[in-house]
Amino acid sequence: MAFDEQQILPAVREMKQLDKFLESDYKYGVLLDSHLGQLKGIMNAVKRADKEMFLHVDLIQGLKHDEYAVEFLCQELKPAGIISTRSSVIVKAKQKGVYAVQRIFLLDSTALEKSYSLIQKVQPDYIELLPGIIPSFIQEVHQKTGIPVLAGGLIRTEQDVAGALKAGATAVTTSKRDLWKTY
C-alpha cells in the first residue's frame, strides 16, 4: 500500500480539519486528538466520503490504549490502520488485518536502539518517525528495518516535506493545512 500515491497524509486534530479533509481529494488521513464519543460519527462521515482513516489509539481520550481497545476499534469502526507507540497495540492491529503503524520518537541514541529492537520483534507495516525533519534518520531507520517510514512532527514548510520525501519517507503526516494544498 502506498496510499494511492499520496505524499501527504492529512493529520486531523479538530473538526474544522476533518471537514477540510473530507472535502479534499485525499483518500487517506490520520485522526489524532479525539475522544470516544466522537469516533463513531467521525468514522461514519469518513466512510460516507469514501475515504480511509488511520486512528492514533494513544490520542483517543476515554479509551485505554491497549489491545482490547484496538480489537473494539477494528471490529466496530474498521479503520484503515492503527497508529501507536505500544507494541501490544501494533501486534493486535496486525492480527485484525488493518495497517499497523509504530510511532517512534527520536529522543536520543538509547531510545532509537530500543525502538529498533521493538520494531524487529513487532514488524509493523509502517514506522512513523517523529520528528520527521531529520533526513539522515529517515534514511537510517528505513535502511536498518526495511520498513516504510512516515515522517511526522515539526513538518512546517514545503522544504520540510520535500526533504523528508527525498530522504525516503513514503509519506508525510501533517496537520498544517497549507501543506495539504501543495501536495
Tens digit of pLDDT for each residue in 91-130?
A: 999 999 999 999 999 999 999 999 999 999 999 999 999 9
Q: Find all residues with CB under 8 Å of 141, minimum gap 6, and list them.
A: 104, 127, 129, 147, 149
Q: Are the beta carbons of 130 and 105 closer than 8 angstroms? A: yes
Which position has the grid cell 501533517? 174
Q: Find all residues with CB under 8 Å of 13, minimum gap 6, and list them.
A: 32, 33, 175
The reported pLDDT for the residue numbered 183 is 75
Q: Give the domains, in start order, of the chain with CATH numbers.
A: 7-182 (3.20.20.70)
The pLDDT of residue 1 is above 70: no
User: Stretch 149-168: mean pLDDT, rounded?
Assistant: 97
User: Stretch 29-46: mean pLDDT, rounded?
Assistant: 96
pTM over 0.75? The answer is yes
The reported pLDDT for the residue numbered 34 is 94
H helices of 24-157, in order, are 36-48, 67-76, 87-95, 109-122, 135-145
The reported pLDDT for the residue numbered 145 is 98
Read off the pLDDT of residues 53-102 as tens digits, 9 standing for 90 and up. 999 999 999 999 999 999 999 999 999 999 999 999 999 999 999 999 99
Is the dihedral angle over the CA atoms 108, 114, 117, 120 positive or is it negative? Answer: negative
